[in-house]
Structure 1
């Protein structure tokens, strides 16, 4: 069986759960969008993400995350795993490499692993591309300096994570979000690294 699937380990209900029976969860929509963005046509997302209960299952204690990554060794089609969670206060530039180091120490791994922290939360990325989600609107300022982006969207647009996160992800503009959000730019770079690993037939752990 070829290794051609990107699996996902996520934190939120919106990322992991289908909003409707005929609609994919947000994390799967995100992986589809990113694979298209980097033009990696030989890899595909897995059917659904694996959800951990909270940010604390990713960091600072990584035992649960590492156990779930070990479980992915049983998936013969696993080419890569995206580890994605919100990081409200700590700096992704510091925490991401710390987690990746612990993952490397548990290796070797038969698949690539990329760690991406959404600063401050996944919904901050929506603020970075607001005009493509809601016509006539553009978020003023740095979307990553606002706490509770989810609450801001709820107040202005009646946003509900479990209902809307997937459809917002589908309409998000990758180029705009990359320009305006450092943590989203990290996501883009991670998938560029995955494409390189795919083309080179190697397995990487990043950052």
Structure 2
């Protein structure tokens, strides 16, 4: 199954394929997946310019091919992931009804999934956190990037290198347990994989 992703951040370009390959091995190890290089967009332009929205979606649909899957993965920021995600989903349906697709908004940022799995990241790339950090709502901090960066030992957080590295190490089961938006991604993945979707519908 070929998977084409639309993402908004420089860090997501290398990180999302890492995360999805791990997700595939965890949820659907019997299915071979080919993650295509993500299509990076500027979120405001992508959502507010119809022609740009359509162009990127058609490109993703072409990269996914017949039987493939298109994932639109954006940051929710201050929006409600469920409400905003549904509005985007309705627009996606109008453009690529011939493809399986999913719209997932990380609440509030992609890095919130690292907060959800913070305990599993202790000691990785200088990351450390307190016991109190492990009790917070992982989707609560407004600036998840800053939260993660403040817990790296004596260095700045670099999206293009730290994001894929942490995506390769974070414990997915912990993130699934603590993050509703990540559970949405997992649920949509199960629905996208043909054999799993057929099994669940029987």
| TM bracket, shorter-chain basis | 0.7 to 0.9
Alignment of 1:78-93 (within 5 A): 79-93=68-82
- Corresponding residue for 1:69? 57
Rounded to whole Å, the distance in 2 between the matches of 1:64 and 1:106 is: 12
**Pair 1:134 & 2:122 matched:** yes
CA deviations on 1:45-86 (whole Å, 9 max, x unpaired) are 334111002x21343555423211112343346601111010
TM-score by length of 2: 0.83
Which of residues 168, 182, 185 in structure 2 aligns to 1:184?
A: 182
What's the offset of the Cα at 1:161? Answer: 0.9
Any gaps of 5 or more consecutive residues in structure 2? Answer: none
What's the offset of the Cα at 1:42? Answer: 2.7
What's the offset of the Cα at 1:107? Answer: 3.9
Rounded to whole Å, the distance in 2 between the matches of 1:9 and 1:80 is: 11
Q: Is the 8 A contact 1:62 1:99 kept in 2?
A: no
**Pair 1:52 & 2:47 matched:** no
**Aligned-residue RMSD, C-alpha:** 2.1
Rounded to whole Å, the distance in 1 between the matches of 2:189 and 2:106 is: 15
User: Residue 103 of structure 2: SS of its match in structure 1?
Assistant: strand
Rounded to whole Å, the distance in 2 between the matches of 1:32 and 1:133 is: 19
User: Residue 47 of structure 2: SS of its match in structure 1?
Assistant: coil
Alignment of 1:1-207 (within 5 A): 4-16=1-13, 25-53=14-42, 55-59=43-47, 61-75=49-63, 76=65, 79-109=68-98, 111-135=99-123, 137=129, 139-157=134-152, 158=155, 159-196=157-194, 200=198
User: Residue 69 of structure 2: SS of its match in structure 1?
Assistant: strand
User: Alpha carbons of 1:197 and 1:59: their partners in 2 closer, same or farther (altered >3 Å)?
Assistant: farther
Any gaps of 5 or more consecutive residues in structure 1? Answer: 17-24, 201-207
Q: How many residues are treated as equivalent by the alignment?
A: 187
Q: Is the 8 A contact 2:39 2:60 kept in 1?
A: no
